[in-house]
Amino acid sequence: MATDDSSPHASLREAHPIERAVGMAYYVSDADGIGGRLRESPEDFHVRELEAFEPESLDADRGSYPELVVRVTLRNWDTNDFARRISDALGISRERVSWAGTKDKRAVTTQLFTLREVGPADLPAIRGAEIEPLGRAGRGLSFGDLAGNAFEIRVSDAVDGAPERVADVVDDLRAFAGGGLREIDSTDADDGNPVLTDATVGVPNYFGQQRFGSRRPVTHVVGLAIARNDPREAVRLYAGNPAETEPDDTQAARHRVDDAFGVDDASETAAGGGPEVGGPGDTSADGTGDGDWAACLDAIPGKLRFERSMVHRLADRGTDPNAPRDHEDWWHALEAVPSNLQRLFVNAAQSFLFNRILSERLRRGLPFDRPVAGDVVCFADGDAPTELYAPDTDRLQRVDDDRVSVVTRHCERGRAFVTAPLVGTETELGGGEPGDVEQAVLDAAGIEPTDFDLPDEFESSGTRRAISLRTDLGVAFEDGDPRFSFALPSGSYATVLLREFLKSGPLDL
């Protein structure tokens, strides 16, 4: 972002370069990390969904309640793969299987599924899955039923002295949440391992690296190009634009696509580059692109099926590589990918801008746990499970000078949360310095809210999101390795909390 990086808070610790490329510029804890790795085995990463969904009893009338509700614990299963497996085993359409949230594969996950027109006696035995019938429901689960997730996560191969480092980070995160220093129990009476008592901690509610891609974080730059009405560059960034972390054949294919566009490698900003990625720039064709889309298709391996789909449309139409940037052929190529990926491009751009707003707020020393004049706050979700500090962004209030002290008390009690925009066509920026921060980030990116008035799936009206991620954290140690337990509302990332403790880069998360 093209703002002055001289921070009034010299203690801010700079984030990993891959994180800075997606807007996460800083850590809030200056304490040294514990290193280590996540997910050495699936048992190291336990996730239990917290749903706002109450089924009827199992003997409820199937005519009124056609959905069987089951609790499923999966080991090393991708959610979508399991849905296909259970639908095949039951001999039913995949559309008759529903769930609230998609989980990572390398983990032990517990969540609800609904199975339409299925009885308890029909349930199959599936390796790596424990399936327990709970009751019946009148409708299938949807994403809106997911309130949050409870985590138990072990970090393996932590450095010597990890308990002391963890305690130092907890101090920093507790202060960031607006609290004092935590209390610590030196040992666990049963096994002599050190433990920390529960502490309320906070971190910036960044969108985690998973939102953008860890090895090739490119979705947000594609989305920014779309918002700038430059579908040509969006296609080029997605199908071309090689990253050094990719296999050789993939890099070679993307270089071939760049050649077709006439992009000089020397002027290229590769995916996963430095912290300025996403600012307005010009990697325009130099007029020498050969537009040989057939040669690109020969070079692109089958595993890059979405890239192939885009380029195939260019080949079918014989698109001139120097056609105007907003020519309909470029939009036609972009729309070759599934609608959910089209939305993801724009959502990732919004997420990047949100991350940059949080980083700039940190740089300026503005608080996250309480408002200043000009902030927009939301109130707590009164229907959320008790484990969660859950914001309800449908209930917003702008904070003027006269209301700062009152709203601060609400924030201290977990009843309100400061927000920032996920920018869209209906976005109204904050006032005062928070509004200055938001405008500065948009100016640096060359984006205005009206830019999200886009065709079809690319359009977005925007919303707001809490800027602080708050949770009650417990930590225990097993043979020197910490096990963290906490709960987060849906849409927030466990890795955003854990990065403060590891400080070892997103590829280890």
Distance CA 229, CA 328 (A): 11
The DSSP bridge pattern shows strands 108-116 and 97-99 to be antiparallel
409 Cβ neighbours under 8 A, 6+ residues apart: none
Active site residue 191: no
Question: DSSP string of 78-101?
Answer: -HHHHHHHHHHHHT--GGGEEES-
Specify the 3-state DSSP secondary structure of 329: helix
Burial class of residue 144 in the structure, from the number of CB atoms within 10 Å of its CB (0-12 exposed, 13-18 middle, 19+ buried): exposed
Q: Which of 104, 122, 168, 436 is catalytic?
A: 104
- 212: tokens are 């953008």
Residue type, 407: V
Distance CA 339, CA 454 (A): 14
CB contact at 8 A, 114 and 69 = yes
Residue type, 469: L
Distance CA 95, CA 84 (A): 10
Rg (CA), the chain: 24
Instruction: Give the single-character DSSP code of 271.
Output: T
Distance CA 175, CA 349 (A): 30
CB contact at 8 A, 284 and 313 = no
441 Cβ neighbours under 8 A, 6+ residues apart: 1, 353, 356, 357, 360
Burial class of residue 266 in the structure, from the number of CB atoms within 10 Å of its CB (0-12 exposed, 13-18 middle, 19+ buried): exposed
Distance CA 45, CA 486 (A): 12
Q: What are phi and psi of 394, to 5 degrees?
A: -85, -10
Nearest to 450 by CA among 220, 229, 209: 229
Distance CA 492, CA 202 (A): 12
Nearest to 19 by CA among 204, 169, 240: 204
Q: Which of the residues are catalytic?
A: 104
